[in-house]
Structure 1
C-alpha cells in the first residue's frame, strides 16, 4: 500500500460518525434504522458515512427484499474488522497506555 492509500484510509476513518458506525457494526449486522438510532445520527448523515465505507469494502450492504418493506442491513467486512482493530490500537496509543511498547 503506498502512502497515498494510507492517507486516504486515515482520512476516511477520521471523518465524523465513522468510528461510531464501525464500533456499532462490530456488534453484528444492523439495519439502517437501527444503526442511525444506535449512533444518534440522522439518516442523511448516516448515508454520507456509509457510502464511502461500502465503496472501500469496509462495510457490506445487503438488501432484503423478501417482504415489504425492503430492509437494508450493513455489516463489517474482514477488511473493515482489520481497520477497526487498528483503530482500537490508535485509541490505546492516544490514551497513553502503550508507552512501554514504544
Structure 2
C-alpha cells in the first residue's frame, strides 16, 4: 500500500492552480478535444477573457495544456490537453460526479448550519 504524501507548499500551489475556478472547466473541455480561444469562451460562457487567458497560461506553464499555432489563413491558435493533463481526466470526472451526487446533502448541511448560526447569533 502506498503511503499518502505530505502536502507541502509546492503540492498546495499545484493543486490550487489545477483546481482553481476556471482551470477545472478548461481541463474538462479540453479533455473532449482541442479548442481555439473563442471556442473555449463559448464552452465556458461565464469566464472573462482575462480569467481564461490567465488559466490557460497557468495550465500551459504546468504542462497540462499546450498552445499550438495552426498554419491556416489567418493563423490561428488552438489549445490542446497534453498527455500529463489527460491523466487528470478521470479525477476531474470523479470530482464532477461527486459534486452532482452530493450537492443536495451539502445544501441541506449548509441550511442546517446557517439556521443554527442564526439562532446562536440571535441569543
Q: State TM-score, norm by structure 2.
A: 0.66
Runs of 4+ in 1 over 6 A off after TM superposition: none
User: For 1:73-93, what per-residue CA distance to the aligned partner results, in whole angstroms no more than 9, with x for missing partners?
Assistant: 001111111123223334455
Higher relative contact order (Cα pairs below 8 Å, separated by 6+ residues): 1
1:25-36 alignment to 2 at 5 Å? 25-36=30-41
Cα 1:63–1:86 shift into 2, 3 Å: same
Aligned with residue 81 of structure 1, among 81, 86, 101: 86
**The structure with more radius of gyration:** 2
> For this pair of structures, how many residues does the alignment match?
95
RMSD: 2.1
Q: Can you give the 5+ residue segments of structure 2 that lack an aligned partner in the other structure?
A: 103-123
* 1:1-102 map, 5 Å: 3-4=7-8, 5-40=10-45, 41-68=47-74, 70-92=75-97, 95=101
